Amino acid sequence: MTSLFNKGLLDSIYSALADSEFGLESFDVTFPNTNQILLKAVFLPDPQYKLTIKDNGGLPRTVASYEAPGEHLNEEVYGGTPLSNIPERLEFWTMNLSRELRSAGAPPDNIREITEQLEELITENVVEPEKRFSSEEIEQLKERLANLEHRFAELESAGIISGVENSQLNGEIKQASKDLSVLTKGIWYRISLTKILRALKGVLTSKEAREIMKEAAKKLIGLD
């Protein structure tokens, strides 16, 4: 459909995409002029990424730019944009697109690896994860938590973890103990181990530290 934009604005729109690192040929640019949509630019290699310009009307006339990806969110909306700023929005969008495509969107390999191992431990060894702990199980876990607290104190004495890290770990262990009567088994293990993992993330770059985390998980689950 024919665009409502004049030739000067169209030239600027096409130039903004052509001057990007992807080139104009990487985008499907249309001008629907339906449902208030004045322009749509879709990234052809991955159509989930697109920019849509919608007419806000009013005087002076403004538009809203719907951009995926946005600067911080998967999609962001920039309302009250003057018509003359549409090329600028396209430039910002292509920069955000470039950054998104180069980002892993995942934790560092050492964190991801230990997280996957912990999830496997929980899945394979926690019986009836949807149920709450019995009184007997709570007492057993409180004992395991106390043993874990003692183990972390030993690691601090050996210089493997810092006093600050141990203090944070003790706080997480105390909170985990309080949560025993509130959360279901599966959720409790995931939350508690994730908090311990977060407290240890500064030292998880070493193989020894990752083994410590796995040891802690096994102690809580009752495998060690």
Mean predicted lDDT score pLDDT of the chain: 84
Would you say 67 and 89 are in contact if contact means Cβ atoms under 8 Å apart? yes
Cα–Cα nearest to 54, from 27, 86, 24: 86
Least confident range from 53-62, 76-85, 198-207, 212-221: namely 198-207
The string of pLDDT tens digits covering residues 147-166 is 888 888 888 888 877 888 88
| Pairing between β-strand 27-30 and β-strand 50-57 as defined by DSSP bridges | unpaired
Helix (H) or strand (E) holding 26: none
Spatial distance between the Cα atoms of 180 and 184, rounded to a whole number of angstroms? 8
Question: Who's near 131: CB < 8 A, 6+ residues apart?
Answer: 184, 185
Summarize the confidence of residues 25-36 as an average pLDDT.
92
Q: Percentage of the chain with pLDDT > 90?
A: 35
Cα–Cα nearest to 44, from 65, 32, 66, 29: 29
